[in-house]
Structure 1
């Protein structure tokens, strides 16, 4: 581990992933340990046009006795190399090797017994597919999905027949072809301190207008969403969280700061039950797309709910289990 760009106490480890058609590939695992040794760990996975910079999220977990890790996936953030197409992939399974290696380091190298995966947007879709593929292996103990990308926020005609036509003709032959789509500028403006937001981060890694959408990436997301809709069997408790409202405007409005300006939150609520048998859905009025970047009061509410859920479903190792009294006998008269 070496010192991360965030400075102490953050460290980072580069995961060598070999090469692909663009050349060398790496991922980056960031670590922040608590002041006291812990057997509990969190692995955070970012979304599209994103990387880990949310140090207040790490603060929340470390203060509650968890060691914190964050993974910048290949071609994102710290892992983006000069010869690469930002955020490009051909399949969401491309990310499974760095997820596997991160889990190995957290559990086998650093010695944690309990692992909670926290994931946002496309990271939520990717980690859901990974958790399903690794069921029965005991890799994760819980999954918190922050506004997961379960469906495109487009009319059915666009996200169905039109996207099918585009990906069928371009994804295999010209996967790096740029697909013209609506920019994420309003959401970007709502976040960065130089625009209309309160957060400071590297605009080279998370530009206000986002990165171009490619045909290969589009196909990868659509296939991942299709697999989710057929139903997964994640064998760990899952908490899915999203806003109560979606922003529908085209021009700036202060409601951008109080709604999900990227996804349709009703899609999230609709598909959440397909994750597995133990899913909790919670929604936050005034929540933004990344709930942890919402206004101060909303994100405090998000953290309170997250604390309640982890206390209930992921008690610290060694915590005595609460005995549940037996059900009363069935008496018929």
Structure 2
């Protein structure tokens, strides 16, 4: 039987559904985003708790997750973290990524990060919150990884008081070669973006980040990766897209005013992936984490930075000890900022 709202089974299997969000057309044809959901009633333990009258502390929370560059949503474990606490979990495959990529499209390409406002608005509407995100009494938690963290930071700054919290997993808030290099490089990239926006930069990813994830993967909780949606080496970097990212970095450097509390999870250190070594399985090989930690302090007035020893660029895909620590730090922050603000926990005035 067809769901009148358009929800269908997702590739992640039991308990996961997806819905296609029409976004119109561009010069490459039909443009869509895809929202994936995992709900408390899909989890047997959470459903049983509700049946016996137990209310979870995040029962009034909607989580919206946005992936990073050359990526898509596949993290069942992360969805379970939120649903186990009573929240409704949603993830968005942005236009031209993952489930949303259509034949003939340039993977991941946009020329301005603000374009994703349309994707996010459509996702919020599908979540029952209205396009602006405020058409619900439920709290909204935004969660982004890498470029998704940059995108959501800029969105939260443009849409004050919509989100109750912003959680960033190794957000790409600054260029890898420092803000000084970014400022010098930006005019050159901007000129190339105007003249030949689809020009590609040389491929510098040797596939070591993917190899590191495979080396530390949990055999008891495997993740099936679609390599067409998440290739071992990153997708081609185009001048127009890089210009959009550098513009986003410049906005962060000038200071944002995100009204919600922000939690930033980062690896404790960076390793340069010039050749393969075991060191790459316990460090961020994508970003300069010290620069990201400094940039994070410009997001708003309430920012927590959590440094995770031994973590990869995606802290939740790290080896067991680092991954467990990342979830423990997230759980501690959630308990302080979200569970303590649940209506049932508030003391009468």
Distance between the aligned counterparts of 2:158 and 2:169, measured in 1?
20
1 CA distance for matches of 2:37 and 2:17? 5
Tell me which residue corresponds to 1:182: 204
Cα distance change of structure 1 residues 147 and 71 upon mapping to structure 2, 3 Å threshold = same
- 2:180 matches 1:152: no
Picking from 128, 148, 165, the partner of 1:123 is: 148
Distance in 2, matches of 1:216 and 1:210, equals 16
Distance in 2 between residues matched to 1:236 and 1:215, nearest whole Å: 33
SS in structure 2 of the partner of residue 172 of structure 1: helix
TM-score by length of 1: 0.90
The answer for the alignment partner of 1:143 in structure 2 is: 166
Alpha carbons of structure 1 residues 278 and 114: separation in structure 2 relative to 1, 3 Å: same
Separation (CA, whole Å) in 1 of partners of 2:187 and 2:76: 39
The 3-state SS of whatever aligns with 2:152 is helix
Structure 1 contact 236–278 (Cα < 8 Å) conserved: yes
- Which of the numbers 113, 122, 127 marks the counterpart of 1:92? 113
* Partner Cα separation in structure 1 for residue 208 and residue 231 of structure 2: 12
Can you give the 5+ residue segments of structure 2 that lack an aligned partner in the other structure?
1-6, 42-46, 51-58, 218-222
Kindly indicate whether the alpha-carbon contact (under 8 Å) linking 1:15 and 1:27 is maintained by their aligned counterparts in 2. Answer: yes
Distance across 1 between alignment mates of 2:235 and 2:187: 21
CA distance in 1, matches of 2:9, 2:136: 21
User: 1:274 maps to what in 2?
Assistant: 298
Deviation at 1:312, TM superposition (A): 1.0
CA contact (8 A) 2:165 2:261 kept: yes
CA distance in 2, matches of 1:211, 1:152: 18
SS in 1 for 2:160: coil
Corresponding position of 2:25: 19
1:171 aligned to which of 187, 193, 218: 193
SS at match of 2:32: strand
Measured at CA, do residues 184 and 92 of structure 1 come closer, stay the same or move farther in structure 2, by a change above 3 Å? farther
Secondary structure at the residue paired with 1:275?
coil
Deviation, structure 1 residue 323: 8.4
Q: Aligned residues, how many?
A: 318
Secondary structure of 1:18 counterpart: strand
CA separation in 2, counterparts of 1:155 and 1:112?
41
Residues 284-311 of structure 1: CA deviation (Å, up to 9, x unaligned): 1101100000111111111111111111
CA distance in 2, matches of 1:74, 1:112: 28
Q: Distance in 2 between matches of 1:295 and 1:146?
A: 16
Pairing partner for 1:263 from 287, 292, 306 = 287
Sort the Cα spacing of 1:317 and 1:207 in 2 relative to 1 into closer, same or farther, 3 A.
same
